[in-house]
Chains A and B, each alone.
Chain A
Amino acid sequence: MKLENKYGVDERGYYGRFGGAYIPEMLYPNIRELRENYLQIINETGFRKEFENLLSDYVGRPTPLYLAQRLSEHYGTSIYLKREDLNHTGAHKINNTIGQILLAEKLGKKRIIAETGAGQHGVATATVCALRGLECVVYMGEIDMQRQAPNVARMKMLGAEVVPATCGSKTLKDATNEALRDWINNPVDTHYIIGSVVGPHPYPDMVARFQSVISREIRQQLLDKTGSELPDHIIACVGGGSNAMGAFYHFLDEEQVKLTGVEAGGEGVNSGKSAATTVLGKDGIIHGSRSLLMQTEDGQIVEPHSVSAGLDYPGIGPQHAHLHDTGRVKFVNITDREAMEAGLLLCKLEGIIPAIESSHALAWLEKMEFRDSESIVISLSGRGDKDLQTYIDYFKL
């Protein structure tokens, strides 16, 4: 396998010491089938053409790279928003699900399973299953089902069965366990669409490739707008890290572009209610790969906390862990309060209601110091409709 950039995956599925495939034998055939076929399939001309056609005609790509004038004036710099919120289904998640549903078809799969936290990946999966006429089962933590009720309704309308994960913390990590168990019990006809750059190899690499359309467009759009392909900064929120990886992908080897991943600090990194994995985590294995992981001294997974269900995950993707290790990406964290206020600021200044996930990336602007000439790209990973109730409760609207 050709190494496409110096921070990419090696032929054994590792990014530095992170990655790999730590899976029980029951999952081995499924993972091997994917590993042996994914690169060949997604590089076929026919596949690429169909993927790109669906991205443009169905998803609505390219998404705009919008120079946010009033936000830029507010901070005294040039801020571009990569409008992933304008994708069909309202988030970047659809890029990956389109790619994976086409791959699943090529592999002859009849049934799709997925896990979801905030519901965006579940909705995107249910959407592509409806589009291609495949059976769809989405696992979602019982608590997330309550706080993201509109997305549960959307998935049902799209024909998906939504199964509550009732074990553990009843959130995203438990939904992921349930989906993996389903896959173990249905090894032949089922494809598991993982929604982030996590899981056993080749998922982190595969999802990153499908999401890399974001950074490919940013380069072209910046060139058109400014005459330079390279911004000074790219900022994106990180739960598992798929939108961040998509936004960083084509800039990883451009070392002069500063990359920042914003994690959910929750109520503060020392509060016991946080999801700031790079601060609180250490090396460990969850959901089939070695990465940074929030855990007890005994290696039991710690339940994370974030006001944003989409960032409420105890680990990060292995490539992010490697980028953290090497210092290529700076990881920072933003509290629930800072994120909520940054979300509201964007509403007031630009007329855009961001997903609370994206508000974490926006909130980092408060902490930066700028030179006038700097250009900053922020991945606006999703829109805030799904989070309205959280905004309403928080600001007592």
Chain B
Amino acid sequence: MNRITELFKKKSGPVLSIYYTAGYPGLNDTLLIAKSLEEAGADMLEIGFPFSDPLADGPVIQHSSEVALKNGMSLRALFGQLKALREEVNIPVLLMGYLNPVIQYGMEKFCASCEECGIDGLILPDLPMAEYEETYQELFRSHHLSNIFLVTPESSEERIRKIDGLSEGFVYALSSSSTTGKNMASSDRTEAYFEKLRSLELRNPLMIGFGVSDRESFQKVVSYARGAIIGSAFIRLLEKEGAGAEAIHGFVRSVLGR
């Protein structure tokens, strides 16, 4: 059982996952931030590897990617840093990013590097489901990597079921059809969508992301799902406060209400 599945099996309360960009704010902050997040009580991490042309990202994450690239971050550099990941961090860690850097690195080599570093799962938003199913599913499995697909309020029930069938670990439900970093729209429509997702009784646990930024929004979405993902709000903190452990601890604890 990989760490993601184990987490959802063992933990009874809501799961908090934090996204941040590798190599931001400083090139060598990746592991320091991971360690601080675990110490502070985050249950899972999503480490973004930067791409020059990130379609699904809003300005905050896009800016962090630009800085990370300028700092010299690349997949090669990231895997160099992540060699020590499992000496420092025990919680599940996913990599998230766009397909082009992965293809240039080589999909097989990428999966092997992930496994070597103890990565548990992947989120590649522009990887088509059909291509995954036909070409990569076996490869991911052979390297013990869970693949996570996204669903949005515009996804049909049929498609949500297909996504659930192909995802392993959890399904990543976007709170709205939008780029990252927008405040979550609090409307009857959003709640109806969350209700619908809950009523579908998917085989995978649900994590809600996009627009979750603080304790209030975290608590709201975890009443519908097993957990939530915070990205832009955490990047904003790093931008303002740097990668110091104290600020990171304060942020996580404020979300968890400790």
Contact = CB atoms under 8 A, between A and B. Distances in A.
B62 A167 contact: yes
A298 interface: yes
Interface in A172-229: 173-174, 177, 180-181, 184-185, 187-188
A174 B66 CA distance: 13
Interface in B193-241: none
Of the candidates B62, B130, B150, B154, the one having the most CB atoms from chain A within 10 angstroms of its own CB is B154
B103 A285 contact: yes
B100 A181 contact: no
Interface in A11-67: 12, 20-29
Interface in A103-129: none
Given A25-B152, A26-B177, A184-B177, A299 B105 contact: yes
B128 interface: yes
Interface residues of A, number: 35
A26 B178 contact: yes
Contacts of A385: none
B155 A25 contact: yes
B174 interface: yes
Interface in A290-327: 293, 295, 297-301
Contact of B55 (A29, A167, A184, A299): A184
A284 B56 contact: no
Contacts of B156: 29
Contact of A184 (B75, B127, B163, B179): B179
B126 interface: yes
B53 interface: yes
A29 B154 CA distance: 7
B100 A284 contact: yes
B28 interface: no
Interface string B125-156: 11110110000000000000000011110111
A185 B150 CA distance: 15
A284 B159 CA distance: 27
Given A25-B150, A26-B152, A286-B53, A299 B178 contact: no
B102 interface: yes
A150 interface: no
B159 A286 contact: no
A245 to B, nearest CB: 23
Interface string A222-253: 00000000000000000000000000000000
B81 interface: no
Contacts of A288: 55, 126
B151 to A, nearest CB: 6
A300 B128 CA distance: 20
A24 B66 contact: no
Given A187-B177, A299-B51, A22 B62 contact: no
A286 B104 CA distance: 13
Given A20-B128, A286-B100, A26 B51 contact: no
A156 B62 CA distance: 28
Interface string B47-71: 0000111111011001000100100
Interface in B151-205: 151-152, 154-156, 159, 163, 174, 177-179, 182
Given A25-B174, A26-B150, A301 B53 contact: yes
19 contacts: A22-B127, A23-B126, A24-B56, A25-B151, A27-B55, A28-B154, A28-B155, A29-B154, A29-B177, A167-B59, A168-B53, A177-B53, A184-B179, A185-B177, A285-B98, A285-B103, A295-B100, A298-B105, A299-B101
Nearest 5 CB-CB pairings of A with B:
A299-B104, A299-B101, A24-B125, A298-B74, A25-B150
